[in-house]
Structures are given as structure tokens and as C-alpha cells.
Structure 1
Amino acid sequence: MNIEDYRTYCLSKQGVTESLPFPKLQNVLVFKVAGKMFTATDIDTFSSFSIKCIPETIDDLRAQYSALEEPSYFSKKHWSKVLVDGSIKDETLYSWLDISYDLVVSKLTKKQRRLLQQQ
């Protein structure tokens, strides 16, 4: 996966927006659905990206995949940093992006989910 594949995939999801929201971290690209972040990456290096994870499975995934690490800036219980080092198949990376997106959507209000489906 490269940064363009990552970006295209994220933007293909319903209701997703992209932004560079951090003035002190101007190279951090964030993807949100309904204003809630589901993934972020450094656009200068694309050496990793952060994803939201299911808290009950996060430790098992980190044990199984050495390229899955605790994040630097996010909750270690809910987020993981994924190293883009070629050790994980793209299909798996895409499925993790799906899970991250779905976790955020599941926390939206019914009204927000209904509006999202209409987009």
C-alpha cells in the first residue's frame, strides 16, 4: 500500500472527509466520518498510519503482527499504529481501515447514521 492507495480507499467510504487539522503537526493527514477521526498518517513519510481498534482484540493483534504498535498520541486501548513496512498484506490493511471506520460509525447517533446513508 502506498499513500495514494490509502487516501483513495479512505475517501471511497461513505461521508469521509480529509483535513490537516493540527497546526503544530502540519504534515498529519486525518480522515473523518461525521467529524470523527478513524485514521491518520504523516503525509511526508507514510511510514505508518493510526487506526481505531476493537479493545478486546487489540492485544492479540499486536502479539500476532509486529508491525502493529501502540500509538504515540492516541489511546493505547482504542488505537494502534500500523507500520507500513510490507510485512502485512494490503487486504489486511484495508480490512483494518474498514474496522476503524465501522467502529466510528457505530458510535454515531441514529440521526447521524441515517444522514450518512443518504450521502
Structure 2
Amino acid sequence: MDKHTVTEYFLSKPFTSVSQPFGEGVDVFKVKDKMFATLSLGNGNEKDTNGKMAGHYCINLKCDPDEALALRDIFDAVIPGYHMNKKLWNTVILDGSMPKGEIERLIDNSFLLVVSKMTKADREMISLHL
């Protein structure tokens, strides 16, 4: 997936919006004002990623803590969440090494994890559009 296809996939989720509260170049995707993903271009200055992010778009996604660790072991393109709580967030480097379906599954999981913490009324409203 590239920047455009991942953006389209994010925005296909119900009640999703995009803004840049952290500044130009970092798109933040929210469902009903709750962040479930970010998208930015890695510049190579990121610590602890050994330059893997340089020149590639990267997405931060919320994740179950146990699954987050497993994904990091399985995929080289999955690293601890850059600038995020590393227990609950992963960064996925969009370098072409991960199957599109797996990236979509991770996006879906992030979205649903955030929705699961919303009020019952919001959860029900969103579920009607899934």
C-alpha cells in the first residue's frame, strides 16, 4: 500500500476525519475525535529504527499488546510505535514488504480497538455503518 491507498482506506471507515494537529506532514486519523492512526514520511532521523523509515511512509496503529509484540517478530516492517506508547502502538513501514490484506487487517483492528472504548451509543452508531 502507498500513501494514497492507505489514506483512502482510513477515510473509508465511518465517522473518520483527518487533521494535522502535530504539524504539517503528519496526518492524524480519528474516529469521532479519537485517534486510531497517523501517517507520515520517515526522514531517517528517527531513533531506534536504524534508518528503516527513511524515504517510506509510515503508519502508527493501535494494537493489542500481545499482538503488537508478535507482529514485530513476524514482520521487519513493523516496529514499536514511533513517538507513541510502544506497548499499545506499532509503526508499520510502507516499504512494500507486507501484504495489503495484512495492513488492512491492522488498520481495521486499530479502528475497532478505539471504537471499543467509546460510549455505548457511539459504538452502536458506528457499528450500523460497518
Q: TM-score, with normalisation over the residues of structure 1?
A: 0.89
Q: Is the 8 A contact 1:33 1:101 kept in 2?
A: yes
1:41-56 alignment, distance < 5 Å: 41-42=39-40, 47-56=57-66
Picking from 38, 41, 50, the partner of 1:40 is: 38
Instruction: Quote the residue 1:106 is aligned against.
Output: 116
What is the DSSP-based 3-state SS (H/G/I as helix, E as strand, rest coil) of the residue aligned with 1:86?
A: coil
Instruction: Measure how far apart 1:42 and its partner are.
Output: 1.2
**Residues paired across the two proteins, number:** 117
Instruction: Quote the residue 2:15 is aligned against.
Output: 15
Decide whether aligned partners of structure 1 residues 92 and 118 sit closer, same or farther in structure 2, where only a CA change above 3 A counts. closer
Instruction: Quote the residue 2:47 is aligned against.
Output: none
Instruction: Measure how far apart 1:107 and its partner are.
Output: 0.7
Q: Is the 8 A contact 1:38 1:104 kept in 2?
A: yes
Say what the alpha-carbon RMSD is for the aligned residues. 1.7
2:6 and 2:96 mapped to 1: Cα distance?
A: 14
Q: Is the 8 A contact 1:48 1:83 kept in 2?
A: yes
Structure 1 residues not aligned, in runs of 5+: none
Instruction: Quote the residue 2:95 is aligned against.
Output: 85
Structure 2 residues not aligned, in runs of 5+: 43-54
1:46 and 1:38 mapped to 2: Cα distance?
A: 20
Q: Is the 8 A contact 1:3 1:46 kept in 2?
A: no
What is the DSSP-based 3-state SS (H/G/I as helix, E as strand, rest coil) of the residue aligned with 2:65?
A: coil
Q: Is the 8 A contact 2:61 2:90 kept in 1?
A: yes
Shifted more, 42-51 versus 99-108: the winner is: 42-51
The higher relative CO (CA closer than 8 Å, separation ≥ 6) is in 1
